[in-house]
Structure 1
Amino acid sequence: MTAARSMLVTGGAGFIGSAFVEAALADGHRVVVLDALTYAGHEESVPKHERCRLVVGNICDRELVGDLLRTEKIDAIVNFAAESHVDRSIDAPGDFVDTNIVGTFRMLQASLAHWKSLDTAEQSRFRYLQISTDEVYGALGETGQFSETSPMSPNSPYAASKAAGDHLVRAWYHTYKLPTLTTNCSNNYGPRQFPEKLIPRLISCALAGEPLPIYGKGLQVRDWIHVEDHSRGVLLALERGTPGQTYCFGGASERANIDVAQRICAILDELRPRGDGKSYASQMQFVTDRPGHDFRYAIDDTRARTELGFTRRHTFEGGLVATIEWYLGNTEWCHAVTRRRHA
Structure 2
Amino acid sequence: MMQPLSILVTGANGLIGHRLCRRLLEDGHMVAALSRAEHPALLKPLREHGRLRLFRGDITDREFCRKLFRANRFDAVFHLAVARYFPDPAAQRLPALEETEAYRTNYEGTLNLFQAALGSGFGLPVWVQGSAMMVYDIEHLETMPVAETHPAAPVEPNGFSVLLAEEACRYFGRSAGLHDAILRFPGVYGTGKESGVIAKFVRHCLSGNPAPLEAPGNRTSDFLYAEDAAEALLLALSWLQANSGELPAAERLFHIGSGEEVSVAEAARLIRELTGANIDIVERPAAVSRRFCFDNTRARKVLGFRPRSLREGMSEYVNELMG
Q: TM-score, normalised by structure 2?
A: 0.83
1:145 equivalenced with 2:119 (yes/no): no
CA drift at 1:36 = 0.7
In 2, Cα distance between equivalents of 1:190 and 1:232: 14
Render the CA deviation track for 1:138-188: whole Å, top value 9, x for unaligned. 326596222222211123332222112111211121223222321112222
1:166 paired residue number: 166
2:232 paired residue number: 233
1:248 paired residue number: 255
1:306 equivalenced with 2:312 (yes/no): no
2:203 paired residue number: 204
1:258 paired residue number: 265
In 1, Cα distance between equivalents of 2:113 and 2:158: 19
Can you give the 5+ residue segments of structure 2 that lack an aligned partner in the other structure?
89-94
Count residues in correspondence.
303
Letter in structure 1 aligned against 2:199:
P
In 2, Cα distance between equivalents of 1:294 and 1:13: 34
Give the secondary structure class of the aligned counterpart of 1:15. coil
CA drift at 1:214 = 5.1
CA drift at 1:316 = 1.3
Give the secondary structure class of the aligned counterpart of 1:170. helix
CA contact (8 A) 2:188 2:224 kept: yes
Render the CA deviation track for 1:224-254: whole Å, top value 9, x for unaligned. 2221122111111122135642122111122
Letter in structure 1 aligned against 2:302:
E
Q: Quickly say closer, same or farther: Cα 1:231–1:105, change in 2 above 3 A.
A: same
1:71 paired residue number: 71
Render the CA deviation track for 1:69-105: whole Å, top value 9, x for unaligned. 2323211111110024xxx532387121121122112
1:89 equivalenced with 2:86 (yes/no): yes
Q: Quickly say closer, same or farther: Cα 1:166–1:145, change in 2 above 3 A.
A: same
In 2, Cα distance between equivalents of 1:211 and 1:155: 35
Letter in structure 2 aligned against 1:89:
F
Give the secondary structure class of the aligned counterpart of 2:237. helix
In 2, Cα distance between equivalents of 1:281 and 1:310: 36
Letter in structure 1 aligned against 2:50:
E
1:12 paired residue number: 12
2:110 paired residue number: 104
Letter in structure 1 aligned against 2:297:
T
CA contact (8 A) 1:14 1:45 kept: no
Render the CA deviation track for 1:43-80: whole Å, top value 9, x for unaligned. 54562321112111111122222322232321111111
CA contact (8 A) 2:144 2:292 kept: no
Render the CA deviation track for 1:98-146: whole Å, top value 9, x for unaligned. 21122112112112222xx23xxx65xx212210012313326596222
1:37 paired residue number: 37
CA contact (8 A) 1:18 1:45 kept: no
CA contact (8 A) 1:190 1:227 kept: yes
1:131 equivalenced with 2:92 (yes/no): no
Q: Quickly say closer, same or farther: Cα 1:263–1:100, change in 2 above 3 A.
A: same
2:92 paired residue number: none
In 2, Cα distance between equivalents of 1:38 and 1:281: 41
CA contact (8 A) 1:205 1:212 kept: no
In 1, Cα distance between equivalents of 2:195 and 2:143: 28
CA drift at 1:190 = 2.1
Q: TM-score, normalised by structure 1?
A: 0.79
CA contact (8 A) 1:305 1:311 kept: yes
Higher-helix-fraction structure: 1
Render the CA deviation track for 1:2-54: whole Å, top value 9, x for unaligned. 11111110001111111111121122111111111289x63545623211121
In 1, Cα distance between equivalents of 2:180 and 2:143: 31
CA contact (8 A) 2:213 2:279 kept: no
CA drift at 1:306 = 2.0
1:56 paired residue number: 56
Give the secondary structure class of the aligned counterpart of 1:19. helix
2:322 paired residue number: 328
Can you give the 5+ residue segments of structure 1 that lack an aligned partner in the other structure?
274-278, 330-343
1:340 paired residue number: none
Letter in structure 2 aligned against 1:300:
D
Render the CA deviation track for 1:287-320: whole Å, top value 9, x for unaligned. 976xxx78222222222222222223x2211221
